[in-house]
Structure formats: structure tokens, C-alpha cells
Amino acid sequence: MAWYIVRRLVQMLPVLAGISLLVFGLLHLIPGDPAAVFLGQQATSEDIARLRHAMRLDRPIWEQFGEYLWRAAQGDLGTSNFQGGQQVTALIGAHLPATAELAVAAAVLAVAVGIPVGVVSAVRRGSLVDVISMAAAQIGVSMPVFWLGILLILLFALELRWLPTFGRGDPMGAAVAALLRGDGRPLGGSLRHLVMPAVTLGAGAVVLIARMVRSAMLEVLGHDYVRTARSKGLPDRVVIYRHALRTAVLPVITIVGLQVGALLGGAVVTETVFAWPGIGQLLVNAIGQRDFPVVQGTVLAIAVVFACINLIVDVAYAWLDPRIRYG
Amino acid sequence: MRRPCRTMLVMITVSLLAAFLGTTDRATGGPAAALVRVGLDVDAGSADPRYARDTSAFRLVELVYDGLVYLDNKVTPEPGLAVSWENPTPTTWVFRLRHGVTFHDGTPFTADDVVYTFESILAPDSKAPYRALYTPISTVEKLDAYTVRLTTKTPYAPLLSYLDIGIVPKHIAERDPASLAAHPVGTGPFMFVSWDRQSKIVLDANPRYWGGAPKMRGVVLDIVPDNTARAAAVQAGDLDLIHSPLSPQDLPALSRAADLSVTKMTGLGITYLNMNTSVWPLDDMRVRRALAYLTDRKTIASKIYQGMDQPATSLLLPGSWAYGRGVRQPDYDPARARALLQEAGFTLRGDVYQKDGRALSIVLSTHSEDPNRVQAVEFLQNEWQRNGIQVKVTTTEWPTFSGGVQASKHQVALLGWLYLVDPDRLLYNQFVSNGSQNWERYSNPKVDALLERGRTTLDRAARTKIYQEAAAILAQEQPYDVLLYQGYVVVHTRRLHGFVPNPTGSLKSLRGAVLAAP
């Protein structure tokens, strides 16, 4: 297993280089000159040409890419002119934890709500619970993320004044550390800030997982071994959770894994609505400004996270299903 | 069956518990502390005034730094770090600097800092976005520790209104050129504390400020990109002050809120149609004028912008000293538009005007970031099409759009200019032949001569006449069709007393404001 993981990690390197090439190529293909955007409407063409030279944008693209790869391999992703000359690695380091926190909260919510709802809907197929939850799922799937976010803000922040309208509280790690020291306030603040963005981001995944679990459960419940288990006189709870769910949940793991990846991407909109200082906001701003080093670095970071999630999903498969072995 | 329900119940309880646990958290940044929370739409790029290019960066640097002058509410230069100035000859300006001012790190401010700031902006490898505003300056000299002389190549009338740019500490900028971009150190009323990128910037009051210490503990600039979310935050009491850009559709709710004060004023920006005079059919002045006659500015202002912006009449802003009622571009009048098109040789075939077998078709473009501009071009498309013009609309994101306009690849483009503190700033580079922003490729020797004179004449009354004459010609020839005078809106809690909105968007008067306890 250890050898398998190492091999997978090594295989990631060419994939990441390929992604870098793709992003690099695309960035240079789309119109819009970083130097012109940086200097703004008032700048003269001479100023822009001078800055292009200073930013080394006037050199052949393969030369720029080679230099980028060489430095990236050494852990240097460049600096952002648009963010006051900050190191791209530092910027990503500052934003990634916020997005990870949001994505994990959304994923936990999706699993904690999605799986039970799916199971109940399958077991009580056609019941009122099933009809209501599947109708809610239909609405949930078709509701735009930003709209749900704004609705939540209007209800819970503006009308009820229970939750803050924007921003992130203390980082979760710091908040938990404070709780261990006996101060629960930072954690309360962090959770209050987290609730609406996590619900907004996770709503789509809840729906997807609920529907997935429902159909998988329906299929499994019809299998012989479930009937055998039932005929042995095992209680319903044991049959459903120990036997049926364990099989039904296997494809759900892939979906959850993919969803966490998708959540990283979906975070872009949620982060904008709730002013959540994560990597999505960083990326969107960088694309809008043609801030090449930040776009490249951020996409690379997301790719690494994505690849790691895939690896974790594969390992989780082996752990849950003893028939699967990796060598 | 019971377990999943229990899990859900626990989840909900935890969320609610967290919600109520946290209600105490709002009090920590609360009223007694008197920290004023300001909502901005984008994060600042650089905190170094020389390299500031976005509005958030301007809002940040003017709180931390001081310029030689300060532009008051009528955009008139008032003494800042310079206590007085004189121009003994039309090309020299002598500034007497304020004594006893220190930077936030305790270092005294002197003439060396002023000389360094302007020399670094003018340096050949400078990345200063507004360098072009200062290039008419030929030398910056220190006469003594508190006197500086600026010499310009030719008389340069708008100079004084550009000297509000922040003066940076030489001893820091020289040693570490990049450091001020992230850790600003100025002489201003507020001192930099911390910066969470894309989230918030925290400033403390400067107790030793030369103009008197601010009456609050400090200012937090919160970055909330979504306009509606920002409006909701000020209504919910999570922010104390927000200002333009705001979505017009959020204004009615803000105006209704009893605990909020909403101030609308004329800003210093215009929204306009840039008509490329070098391409068919816009190379014919009559076609440009016909389009102007088909542009219903009043409806755009009242319906799309909900009265936040005002319908424009000319290139001179109503708030500017150069404004004159006599200068007017065409008003909405479809009948005159059709007459002009016929005069230009177009005949109506079916629904579309044609000339020499060629249909009258126009590509109208704008950028996708501003939904109101997108709506405005769609409105214009409908209006122009009803009057026999084929219109294709293209909307792309700003870098693509502006790149096309800067290369004059457009036909008609909807965009804007901001921070027009002097008529020279809107007219000179935009309309002199081969001007750096003459994207519409307009050329008229008479306008060239007028704009040159407007720049080199120091007498304001004479300049007013010159700019009115130039604007009258431009209103006739229509290389620009000005749609709107952009409004400036400030919304703040009624507990904030003494804040004076400034059409430049400046928050500098926060220094004298007080945030009362709720």
C-alpha cells in the first residue's frame, strides 16, 4: 500500500507539469495585457511597453514557461505585481486554509445530511418524507449558489440578525486552540461566520449525495443477501446500516471525493457573496487582472489538492471493500 | 432509523448554539471601542501611494499618507503637507512645507521626502500608473529642509490638483523599495496595523497627527466584493459606512432604513460612448450625431441607474468650475436622427438603413463586470434597432474589452472615466491628435490648439472659456457621446457624526468624525 501511494505521488509530477503548460498557454492565448491592466486607463503606451519589458512579458513564450517551470520546481511561484509584490506561495498559503475550512465544512454537512436523507428516502420509498426530500433536492439542484447565499443573508443576517453578513472569524485551528485554553468565544465566532457559507456551498452536494444514496440503497435492498439477512430475523437497523448501507456507500465515496474537488471550485461564488477570504476570491481577482503568476500558482495548488483527494478516495475504497487490493 | 435523525438534530443544535454563543462576539469590536468599519468592493493592490491604481488603494493611502495638498469638497487644493505655495514664474512652483510633522515610525518629514517621492515617480523605470500626469515636471529641487521647488517644462495648469498624491518616507522606500506596498508608513491621520489579503485592513488612529488626533480608535477596511452583500452588511450593522460603487437597485431599501443616512452627490466620473471616428460608418460626423440623437440618456439614468447617475449634457462636469449650461450635446430626438442619416446618404430599405448596398450596422461593446453597463448597451441596441440601425452587442471582461478599445479595434464602446479633478484630465490625452488615450482617433487642429492652451494657461477664468469652447466643438462632432455624470453615494449609520462626503470618494474626513454609542 505504501509503495502504491509513493508511485501515485510520483505520477502526479508530469500531470502537474501538463496542467501548468495548459494554464500557461491559455493565459497567453486570451486577450488582455497584464501590463496594460496593471497601469490602468490613464497609462500611455510607452509606460505599458516599459512595464511589459520589466515584467519580462516581451520574451518568447517558451522561454517564459521554461523559466516558470524551473523556478516552480524549486518552490518559487513568482511574485504578484498586483498584490504589492507579494510571494505567490505566501498568498496561496494565506488563502488555502480558509477555502479548505469552508470546503470541509460543506462536505461534512453534505455527508451528515445527504446520507441519512438518502437512506430514509430509500427505505420509505414513496412516503411523504421521500417525496418532500426529493422535491427539495430538485429545487436545491436548480437553485443558483449566489442566489441561495443572498437569500440566507437576507433571512439570517438582515431579518433575524442571528449570523454575521460577511467575512471569516478566527481560523478554525486558532479557535479550537482558544477553546482548549478555556475561551469558547473565538470558536463561536468562527462557527457563526461559517454556517451560511457552508450551507450555501454544501447545498448542491447534499442533494447529489442524497439522490445517489437513495438509488444505491434501493438497488442494494433488493439483493439476495439483504433478503437473507432479513429472513435470519436481524433487526431492521442492523440490516440497513450494517449490510445494505456499507455496500451502497461505496460509490458515494467517489462522489464525495469529486464533490470536495468541486466544492473547491464552487467556493469561488460563495466566497464572493460572503467575502470569504479564500483561494476562490484570489483566483477570480487574479484572472480578472491577468495576474499570471497568481493564476498559475493557484491552479497548481488546486490541482495538487484535487490529486491528493483522488488518492485518498482510492485508499478509502481499499479500506472499505476488502476485495480491492492495490499493489 | 433513529440514528440519522439524531445526527441531524445534533447538527442543527450545534449550529444554533454556535449562532447564539457568538452573539457576544459582535460586542468585542463594539461601540465603546469606536472602531469604524468601512466596506470596500475590492482589496487594495498596493499601499504605496506612488503605485496605487485601484480605488481601494486610493482610499487606503489617503488615510495613511498626506499629499502636499488636499482636495476639498469642491476639488479645490487646500494646504496639506505644504502650508503655502506660490508660482513666481509660470513654470516654477515653490512649496513651503509644514514643520514638526513626523512619519508613523517617528522620523521627521522634510523636503528630502518630497523630492524623493516625485523623482521616483518620474524615474524611467517607474511602475507608477499615473506617471503621465507628472511628466510635464522637469525638476524637483530642495531649496532648504522645508522648501521645495517644482519646475515644469511649460506652464502646466492642472499640476496643483495632482499634488494630493501621498508623500512617502525616503529612508524606508530607498532601503526597501517594495516594503511600503504592504506596510505603509505615512504622516497621515491613521497608522497601518495589519492586512489580511482579500479580507480586511486595520488602521489605528494617529495620536500625534499634525491636524489633530482622530476621535475614534481606528478604521477597519472590510473587503466585501458583492454589492448586495455589502449593502446588507451596513443594514445589519456589520459595517458602519459603504460608498460607491453600489447597485442602484439596493438604494431604495438603504434609503428606507431609519438608522442609515444616505447621501447622493455628483461624482467626478462620466459614463460615455467612445465612437471610433476612423472606421465606417462612424467616420461620418452625421452618423455619430444621429446615434447621439437616438440615445435616451434620461431613461437610462432613471430606469437603469435609478437616479443614482444623472443624464449628461456635455464633457464638462456640472460640479466643475469649467461647467457651462450653454454647451450641449444632442438631446434625444429620433426624428432628427433619421433626417441626419438621410442627409448622410442612407435610405431605409425594409427595417434597415442602407447606403451603396451596405447596411448601416454597428458593433456596440462594453465589459461584463458592470451589470448596469451591460443593461445600458442592451437598451441602446433595442433603441437603435427600432430606428433602422443593425446593432451587434459584444460584452467581454475588462482586460479583453479595454485591450480592444486601446488598440482602436472597437466601433462604439461604452466605458467611463473617473477622478476627473481637472478638465485637462478628461480632455487633453483623449482628444489631442495622437494623444495617449485618443482611442477614438479623433483629430481637429482647432481642438489641439485649445487643449494645449487650456493646459498652459494658469488663469482659471481664461481656462473656463477655453474648455467651454473645446467642449462645444466636441459636442458638435461627437467623438464621445457622454451618457451619464456618475453619482457618488455614501451610506453610513446615523451614529457616525461629522463625516463629510467628498465627490472624489475620499474618506479623509473620517478623521474628524465621531462614532456614537448605539
Measured CA to CA, the distance from residue A88 to residue A85 in angstroms comes to 9
What integer is the mean pLDDT of B464-472?
Answer: 97
Asked if residue B30 has pLDDT above 50, the reply is no
Write the pLDDT tens digit of every residue in B425-452. Answer: 999 999 999 898 999 999 999 999 999 9
Q: Give the pLDDT of residue B29.
A: 41
Q: Are B360 and B390 in contact (CB under 8 A)?
A: yes
Name chain B contacts of A109, Cβ cutoff 8 Å: 11
Top-confidence residue, A313 or B349: B349
Name chain A contacts of B235, Cβ cutoff 8 Å: 158
Beta-carbon separation of A169 and B25 below 8 A: yes
Size of interface A-B (CB pairs under 8 A): 206
Quote the mean pLDDT of chain B. Answer: 91
**B430-469 b/e with 16+ CB inside 10 Å = b?**
bbbeebbbbbbbbbbeebbebbebbbbbeeeeebbbbbbb
Q: Are A186 and A175 in contact (CB under 8 A)?
A: yes
Which among A32, A47, A149 is the nearest to B399, CB-wise? A32
What are B128's three cell numbers? 507608477
Q: Are B242 and B260 in contact (CB under 8 A)?
A: no
Top-confidence residue, B18 or B201: B201
Task: Quote the minimal CA–CA distance from B80 to chain A in Å.
Answer: 25
Which among A45, A149, A163 is the nearest to B436, CB-wise? A45
Angle between helices A88-123 and A128-142 (to 10 degrees): 150
Task: Quote the minimal CA–CA distance from B336 to chain A in Å.
Answer: 34
Q: How confident is the model at residue B5 (pLDDT cuts 50, 70, 90)?
A: low
Asked if residue B352 has pLDDT above 50, the reply is yes
Nearest to B471 by CA among B426, B406, B507: B426
Q: Give the pLDDT of residue A44.
A: 84
Beta-carbon separation of A188 and B24 below 8 A: yes
Q: Give the pLDDT of residue B28.
A: 40
Which among A166, A285, A289 is the nearest to B233, CB-wise? A166
Beta-carbon separation of A43 and B132 below 8 A: yes
Q: What is the ipTM of this complex?
A: 0.82
Q: How confident is the model at residue B261 (pLDDT cuts 50, 70, 90)?
A: very high
Beta-carbon separation of A185 and B233 below 8 A: no
Beta-carbon separation of B400 and A31 below 8 A: yes
Half-sphere exposure of A130 (CA within 13 A, CB side): 13
Measured CA to CA, the distance from residue A103 to residue A112 in angstroms comes to 14
For an interface test with A, give the residue of B41, B199, B418 to mutate (most A CBs within 10 A): B199
Task: Quote the minimal CA–CA distance from A237 to chain B in Å.
Answer: 6
Q: Give the pLDDT of residue B27.
A: 37
Name chain B contacts of A192, Cβ cutoff 8 Å: 18-19, 21-22, 25
Over its C-alpha atoms, chain A yields an Rg (Å, rounded) of 24
Name chain B contacts of A95, Cβ cutoff 8 Å: 197-198
Give the chain B residue nearest A236 (alpha carbons).
B1
Task: Quote the minimal CA–CA distance from B394 to chain A in Å.
Answer: 14
Residue with cell 438509488: A215
Measured CA to CA, the distance from residue A69 to residue A159 in angstroms comes to 51
Tell me phi and psi for residue B200, to 5 degrees.
-160, 155
The residue type found at B395 is: T
Q: Give the pLDDT of residue B197.
A: 86
Contacts of A288 (CB under 8 A, 6+ apart): B369, B397, B398, B399
Measured CA to CA, the distance from residue B157 to residue B453 in angstroms comes to 10
Q: Give the pLDDT of residue B271.
A: 96
Over its C-alpha atoms, chain B yields an Rg (Å, rounded) of 26
**B192-209 b/e with 16+ CB inside 10 Å = b?**
beebbbbbbbbbbbbeeb
Top-confidence residue, B4 or B237: B237
Name chain A contacts of B397, Cβ cutoff 8 Å: 32, 288
Q: Is the pTM of this model over 0.80?
A: yes
Name chain B contacts of A153, Cβ cutoff 8 Å: 229, 232
Write the pLDDT tens digit of every residue in B146-194. Answer: 999 999 999 999 999 999 999 999 999 999 988 899 999 999 999 999 9
Contacts of B446 (CB under 8 A, 6+ apart): B473
Asked if residue B6 has pLDDT above 80, the reply is no
Name chain B contacts of A112, Cβ cutoff 8 Å: 7-8, 11
Mean pLDDT per 10-residue interval, chain A, length 327 residues: 84 89 89 87 85 88 90 88 85 90 90 88 86 83 84 90 88 87 87 92 87 86 81 79 78 77 78 89 88 92 86 79 67
Task: Quote the minimal CA–CA distance from B234 to chain A in Å.
Answer: 9
Write the pLDDT tens digit of every residue in B306-329. Answer: 999 999 999 999 988 999 988 999
Q: Are B54 and B45 in contact (CB under 8 A)?
A: yes
